[in-house]
A and B are shown apart, each in its own frame.
Chain A
């Protein structure tokens, strides 16, 4: 089957963001950007399916400004066969992204769509589920194991109480959790080869989707600071503080 993988460009996970002084947003100037870590896991899973012979083609798709091509090139270097950028400079909200993904899905007709469970910037945890609902597809979210047998996709999900396994009828949607796999690094030759792979660019209007915003961010503030604590020298002192100062034991 063909596998479509959704790849988001986000701030690198090691960067601690700062809020802009006018409270309009966080400051992304000169900040290192990367593929969302959950999307790396999604790419890895698709590429492994191709290596195992379950997938014939892996197509990576990203939605956003032109610079998202960088993350698509990374996906290509990691083993995706071709890429699609839905290019727009407009503010994107998950419902619109889901609608754009649905339009790409209808063009590409993959048997499986893999997304990250969560983007580490907006922490939404929505897009895969929204897309699945719009396309009328079943979903396995927070996957730690995926296996494919004909048109049956079996997904083990990480849930609050432990693990849950569901069986989905393909075409299906999977969102990745941390333990699904350990993504590889792109090798230099593969980075070079990726430059020549096909990357198609289209616009939301090409896909017949209107980019809409139905919520506004009024302000972005830093979280309340925790007051600095103290170092204790001994376990005795620790227990004394917890009992007599903090009164929590």
Chain B
């Protein structure tokens, strides 16, 4: 029996996280099918069919999936999922939205946010904000799982040649409706995919002050992140929050500026390869996880850092 991976996309582009979820699926053993559900999402199905290791792409193209409403998505995925041994999605806000509904409709448990595959029924996942790692074994016939994409290397985006098959099933639960969305325009790499992340905390003092991070972020080609305190204070939008209850990142380089390092923040970034912290408090807990800590006033250190980077890069 095979594995169904639910693709993450915006109807025009396949989100990279899907390539990481496919990688996790391959470790579970079996053919990997990808479901693309959306509206006018043919290009996404096409892209998914080229991903390495995909056996078949199933494309459900209908109005009711246009905004990936959980009520409709879950009906579709649960119907198709009955014939698979694993149903996988990303542990993103959309995966978190519909995958538990899928599990409930299939009357099985869901295993959230896995970081390792031990065998086809046993997985590792962080609990308590990453302060413990649990190994869990599922006894359900169908395993419904969401994957922490940073824990699995992406499969190649090109090289495969899976067939694309249309799925003719428009499930509209008619209990919810999309109203609108305010998507933040990104002129930087996406947080969850960036190689370098520059994050600011409450120490930044204001939204205006966040601009002083632009120079280093530009120079390093970095995505911009933030602590919860910076988001709550309205300095920056919610989609920038890194942490236990925000986004999980694991870039090559994470630079935390004016962030104290609460466990909830560390949960979202402590798997980064190299961590730099700039904080004026030498006892700030962030220094316990930082490879390189600089005790300094950020308003002095950040411009200096920008200048220095301009010199050497």
Residues of A whose CB lies within 8 Å of any CB of B are: 11, 13, 16-17, 19, 26, 38, 93-95, 98, 117-118, 120-134, 136-139, 141-142, 144, 154, 157-169, 177-179, 214-223, 226, 228-232, 234-236, 238-239, 241-243, 246, 248-249
Contacts and interface: CB of A to CB of B under 8 A. Distances in A.
Contacts of B232: 178-179
A229 B273 CA distance: 12
Contacts of A133: 74, 100-102, 104-105
A214 B140 contact: yes
Interface in B130-149: 130-140
Contacts of B270: 223, 226
A167 B175 CA distance: 9
Contacts of A162: 181-184, 237-239
Contact of B132 (A17, A137, A161): A17
A138 B176 contact: yes
Contacts of A123: 112-113, 126-129, 244
Contacts of B139: 214-216
B212 interface: no
B292 A242 contact: yes
Contacts of A219: 134-135
B239 A215 contact: no
**Closest 3 A/B residue pairs (Cβ):** A129-B100, A229-B291, A133-B101
Interface residues of B, number: 91
Given A157-B93, A162-B181, A238-B305, 12 more contacts: A117-B245, A123-B128, A123-B129, A124-B112, A131-B104, A162-B238, A163-B182, A215-B136, A218-B137, A222-B131, A230-B291, A249-B312
B154 interface: no
B289 A168 contact: no
Interface in B88-111: 92-94, 96-105, 107-111
Contacts of B183: 161-162
B275 to A, nearest CB: 7
Given A161-B184, A214-B138, A246-B291, A13 B238 contact: no
Nearest to B97: A141
Interface in B163-218: 173, 175-184, 192, 196
B293 A231 contact: yes
B109 A214 contact: yes
Contacts of B122: 218
Main secondary structure of the interface of B (DSSP, over half): mixed
A26 B175 contact: no
Contacts of A226: 270, 275, 289
A66 to B, nearest CB: 23
Interface string B236-247: 011100001101
Nearest to A154: B179
Contacts of B308: 235-236, 239
Nearest to A11: B128
A229 B134 contact: no
Nearest to B91: A125
23 contacts: A16-B263, A17-B128, A26-B128, A93-B109, A94-B100, A95-B103, A123-B126, A133-B74, A133-B102, A139-B70, A162-B239, A164-B178, A165-B178, A169-B175, A169-B176, A214-B139, A215-B139, A223-B130, A223-B270, A226-B270, A230-B292, A235-B308, A246-B291
Given A16-B263, A219-B135, A120 B129 contact: yes
B189 to A, nearest CB: 14
B134 A217 contact: yes
Contacts of A13: 264
B132 A95 contact: no
A243 to B, nearest CB: 6
Contacts of A178: 228, 231-232, 245
Contact of B96 (A125, A169, A230, A241): A125
Interface string B267-299: 000100111100000100001111111111000
B293 A164 contact: no
